[in-house]
Amino acid sequence: MGALMLTKRLIACFDVVDGRVTKAQQFQDNIDVAPAEELARQLYDDQIDEIVFYDITASAQKRKIDLETVRRVAHHVFVPFTVGGGIRSVDDMFEVLKAGAEKISVDSMAVRNPDIIRAGAEAFGRQCIVLSTQVKRVGVRAGIPSGYEVFIDGAREATGLDALDWVRRGEDLGAGEIVVNSIDRDGTATGYDLEITRAVADTVNVPIIASGGAGTVDHIADGLTTGGAQAAIISSILYSPRLDRNVGVRELKDGLAARDVLMRPYLL
């Protein structure tokens, strides 16, 4: 028993540029959606389980994360809040936590300097460190036995790292959760890449978060069942102007419950 009582989570993802949420497609062509603070407040009221905020230009612009926006969002969000983008050191992590985040997401920086995972877990506990990975199906080849390679810097740079080798190393170094973000599916609303999500879930024992591609309730349900993920990152389905119709948290949860996925009940 027991383990079954923990519910699956719906995590709203914000790609933030200059304090505003944007929506990309395969990591490109970001279009403007809304101020991060406003969307966060709206999704909290709609009982989203969690929010993750990526300052997507911090890393490329070699600047620190936008702490002011983090602080403004944290003021309205009384559910867990993860922040990533441009985090290079334990001191950077400390500032983000003090701005009101619970968890730190590391991605490209962790590939360049894997020790940041260990140092972060040591300073703040492993539950604080989320390893986010951008993975792309490249086919099985020398050095890439899983057929999935890790990319960094907004999916622009191949690393030569095998996705499963990297997540195993990330877990060993102290990552408390792992995000499997499919570059091929990002923003396409064609469903998560279930194959790599499942493979990662079977490789590590920390919670897995499916990301990239959710366009329908069925996609989310598949990620949380067939994909073996404990949580699903969604964004397009909630607010992308590219979709004909966006769906609210309540409708998503009702749909997931109808598909026998255990969710935190919507409070009336």
Partner 1 sequence: MIGVIDYRAGNAPSVGYALERLGVDHRLVTTAAELDGCDRLILPGVGAARATLDSLHASGLVEPLSNRVRSDGIPFLGICIGLQVLFEHSEEGDVAGLAWIPGSVRRFDDEQRVPQIGWNSVHLRREHPVTAAFPDGGHAYFVNSYYASPADPDHVLGETAYGVEFCSIVAHANIVATQFHAEKSGELGLRILSGFAAWAP
DSSP strand pairing (177-182 vs 157-162): unpaired
Q: Shortest CA distance to 89 belongs to which of 55, 108, 116? A: 116
Residues in region 213-242 near partner 1 by CB under 8 A = 230-231
- From residue 19 to residue 58, the character string flagging contacts with partner 1 as x (rule: CB under 8 A) and all else as - is -------------------------x--x-x---------
If one asks whether residue 128 binds partner 1 (CB under 8 A), the answer comes out as: yes
Calculated CA dihedral for residues 73, 76, 82, 83, nearest 10 degrees? 10
If one asks whether residue 256 binds partner 1 (CB under 8 A), the answer comes out as: no
Residues contacting residue 151 through CB under 8 Å, at least 6 positions apart: 134, 135, 136, 157, 158, 159, 183
> CB-wise, 4 or 142, nearer to partner 1?
4
Compute the least distance from the CB of residue 128 to partner 1, in Å.
6
Among 145, 160, 241, 265, the residue binding partner 1 under the rule CB under 8 A is 265
Residues contacting residue 215 through CB under 8 Å, at least 6 positions apart: 188, 189, 190, 191, 236, 237, 243
- Number of chain positions touching partner 1 (CB under 8 A): 40
Residues in region 181-200 near partner 1 by CB under 8 A = none
If one asks whether residue 97 binds partner 1 (CB under 8 A), the answer comes out as: yes
Range 69-72 contact pairs with CB under 8 angstroms and sequence separation of 24 or more: 69/16, 69/19, 69/36, 69/37, 70/96, 70/99, 70/100, 70/101, 71/99, 71/100, 72/19, 72/36, 72/37
Q: Shortest CA distance to 131 belongs to which of 200, 40, 28? A: 200
If one asks whether residue 210 binds partner 1 (CB under 8 A), the answer comes out as: no
If one asks whether residue 62 binds partner 1 (CB under 8 A), the answer comes out as: no
Among 39, 74, 214, 217, the residue binding partner 1 under the rule CB under 8 A is 74
Give percent helix, percent strand, percent coil of the chain, each to the nearest 5: 35, 30, 40
Compute the least distance from the CB of residue 100 to partner 1, in Å.
5
Among 118, 126, 168, 169, the residue binding partner 1 under the rule CB under 8 A is 126
If one asks whether residue 268 binds partner 1 (CB under 8 A), the answer comes out as: no
If one asks whether residue 68 binds partner 1 (CB under 8 A), the answer comes out as: no
> CB-wise, 123 or 257, nearer to partner 1?
123
Binding positions for partner 1, rule: CB under 8 A? 1-3, 5-9, 44, 47, 49, 74-75, 78-81, 94, 97-100, 102, 122-128, 176-177, 205-207, 230-231, 264-265, 267
